[in-house]
C-alpha cells in the first residue's frame, strides 16, 4: 500500500463497509435512525362556519376547515397513528389587539372542543400567537411601528388559558416575545392548568420559508417585517441562549424553526439540553417539495422520507410537518 494514495486506506481490504449494505435485512439491522408517525404533529387551519373544506393554494393537500370538518380530519389523522395536530386559527374578524385570539368561542377553542369530543387520545396542540388575529399582522401589540413586548405577554397568557380550558393538551407560543414562556406558565398554573404542557418555539428564525403559511393564515405583517423579534438566520449561539431561557421559564419541549436550513441548530440544541427537541418542517419546505413533485421533477415519497429522516438524525425527537399524513400512509 502506497502512503498518500487517496484511493487506498490502511483498513482496506480487511474493512469493507459494503458488507453491511448487501441486503435490506442487514441494512435494517444496523440502521441508526427511524421516523414513526407517533413522532409527528400535523398542522391544521381552522376557519369559521360549518361544512367548510377548502384546499389551500399555497399548501396543496392541506385545507381550510371549519370546526366540524377539523374534527373529521383529526379523526383521520388519529387513525393514521400520527401523534397529534397543531391548530392555527383564521378568525371571522381582526382588530388591533387580536381579541378574537383569546375569545372563549373563537375558532381555535371551538375546534379544540370538537376534536376532543371526536377523538380518543389524539394530542391537541394550539399555536399561541397574535399575528393571525391582529389587523396589522404583527405577533404583538403595536405602538406606532414598535411591537410592544410586555403588554403582549398578558394577552398571550389569556390565549393559552382559553385554549387549555377548551381541552388543549399542549400550548405552543410562536410569537418570540421575551418572557412569554414564563408568563404563559404562570397564567396556566393560576387557572389550575398545571398539567398542560408548553412547547415553545424557542429558536424561531425570521425566515422566508414561512411565505406559504402566511398566505394560508392571512398573517403577513401589513407594515414592516418580523426581524425585530424573530431571530437572525446568521446566529447559532443565540439559539442556545433562547432555548436556555425558555427552559428556565418552564418550557417542556423546545422547538427549532424552520427545520431543514437549520439542522445544525437542531443538532446544537440537542447536544446542549436534556428536554425533548422539536423541529418545524415549515410551509416553504413543504411547498417546494410539492411544487417539484407536481412537475414530476422529484420522487415525492423518497424525498419526504429522506427529509424527515434527516431532521430526526439531526436530533429532533418531534417533527411538525405538513407531510405527516402522506408519510403515515407510506410507512
Ligand atoms: C405564527 C406562526 C408562523 C408559523 C407558525 N406560527 C408564521 C410566522 O411567524 O410568520 C409558520 C409556519 C410555517 O411556515 O409552516 N407566528
Whether the predicted model's global pTM rises above the 0.85 cut: yes
* Distance between Cα 326 and ligand 1 center (Å): 21
pLDDT in tens, 247-256: 999 999 999 9
Which of 126, 134, 171 has the alpha carbon at shortest distance from 152?
134
Nearest CA to ligand 1 atom 11: 210
Share of the chain above pLDDT 70, in %: 97
| Model pLDDT, residue 1 | 46
* Distance between Cα 202 and ligand 1 center (Å): 13
Cβ 283 vs Cβ 58: under 8 Å: yes
* Distance between Cα 136 and ligand 1 center (Å): 15
Helix (H), strand (E) at residue 194: none
Say how far apart CA 22 and CA 29 lie, in whole Å. Answer: 11
Determine which one of 257, 290, 305, 325 is catalytic: 257
- Per-domain residue ranges of the chain: 35-330
Say how far apart CA 224 and CA 209 lie, in whole Å. Answer: 17
| Model pLDDT, residue 10 | 78
pLDDT in tens, 83-116: 999 999 999 999 999 999 999 999 999 999 999 9
Ligand 1 within 6 A of CB of 127? yes
pLDDT in tens, 277-306: 999 999 999 999 999 999 999 999 999 999
Interval 50-76 mean pLDDT: 98
Nearest CA to ligand 1 atom 2: 174
Determine which one of 204, 290, 305, 325 is catalytic: 204
| Model pLDDT, residue 213 | 95
Asked whether residue 7 carries a pLDDT value surpassing 80, the answer given is no
**Grid cell in block for residue 134:** 391582529
325 is catalytic: no
pLDDT in tens, 115-168: 999 999 999 999 999 999 999 999 999 999 999 999 999 999 999 999 999 999
* Distance between Cα 214 and ligand 1 center (Å): 7
Nearest CA to ligand 1 atom 8: 210
Say how far apart CA 241 and CA 199 lie, in whole Å. Answer: 16
Say how far apart CA 133 and CA 307 lie, in whole Å. Answer: 32
Give backbone dihedrals phi and psi of 303, rounded to 5 degrees, phi first: -60, -45
204 is catalytic: yes
| Mean pLDDT, rounded, of the chain | 96
Ligand 1 within 6 A of CB of 176? no
Say how far apart CA 187 and CA 105 lie, in whole Å. Answer: 19
Please choose from 61, 91, 219 the residue to mutate so as to test ligand 1's pocket, defined by most ligand atoms within 8 A of CB. Answer: 219
Nearest CA to ligand 1 atom 14: 210
Looking at domain 35-330, which CATH architecture does it have?
A: Alpha-Beta Barrel (3.20)
Amino acid at each position: 500500500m502506497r502512503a498518500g494514495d487517496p484511493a487506498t486506506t490502511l483498513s482496506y481490504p480487511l474493512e469493507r463497509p459494503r458488507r453491511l449494505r448487501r441486503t435490506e435485512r442487514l441494512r435494517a439491522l444496523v440502521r441508526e435512525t427511524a421516523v414513526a408517525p407517533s413522532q409527528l404533529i400535523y398542522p391544521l387551519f381552522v376557519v369559521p362556519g360549518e361544512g367548510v373544506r377548502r384546499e389551500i393554494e399555497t399548501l396543496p393537500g392541506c385545507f381550510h376547515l371549519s370546526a366540524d370538518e377539523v374534527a373529521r380530519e383529526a379523526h383521520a389523522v388519529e387513525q393514521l397513528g400520527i401523534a397529534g395536530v397543531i391548530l392555527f386559527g383564521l378568525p371571522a374578524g381582526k382588530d388591533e389587539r387580536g381579541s378574537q385570539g383569546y375569545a372563549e368561542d373563537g375558532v381555535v377553542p371551538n375546534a379544540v372542543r370538537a376534536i376532543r369530543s371526536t377523538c380518543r387520545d389524539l394530542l391537541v396542540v394550539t399555536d399561541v400567537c397574535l399575528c393571525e388575529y391582529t389587523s396589522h399582522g404583527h405577533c404583538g401589540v403595536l405602538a406606532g411601528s414598535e411591537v410592544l413586548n410586555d403588554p403582549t405577554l398578558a394577552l398571550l397568557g389569556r390565549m393559552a388559558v382559553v385554549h387549555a380550558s377548551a381541552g388543549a393538551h399542549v400550548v405552543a407560543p410562536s410569537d418570540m416575545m421575551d418572557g412569554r414562556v414564563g408568563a404563559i406558565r404562570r397564567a396556566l398554573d393560576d387557572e389550575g392548568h398545571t398539567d398542560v404542557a408548553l412547547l415553545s418555539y424557542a429558536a424561531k428564525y425570521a425566515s422566508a420559508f414561512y411565505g406559504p403559511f402566511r398566505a394560508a393564515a392571512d398573517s403577513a405583517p401589513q407594515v414592516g417585517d418580523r426581524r425585530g423579534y424573530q431571530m437572525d438566520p446568521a446566529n447559532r449561539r443565540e439559539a442556545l441562549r433562547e432555548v436556555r431561557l425558555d427552559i428556565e421559564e418552564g418550557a417542556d419541549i423546545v422547538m427549532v424553526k424552520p427545520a431543514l436550513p437549520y439542522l445544525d441548530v437542531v443538532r446544537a440544541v440537542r447536544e446542549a439540553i436534556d428536554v425533548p427537541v422539536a423541529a418545524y418542517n415549515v410551509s416553504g419546505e413543504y411547498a417546494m417539495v410539492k411544487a417539484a413533485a407536481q412537475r414530476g421533477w422529484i420522487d415525492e415519497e423518497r424525498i419526504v422520507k429522506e427529509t424527515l429522516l434527516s431532521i430526526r438524525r439531526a436530533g429532533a425527537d418531534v417533527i411538525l410537518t405538513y407531510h405527516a399524513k402522506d408519510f403515515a400512509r407510506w410507512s
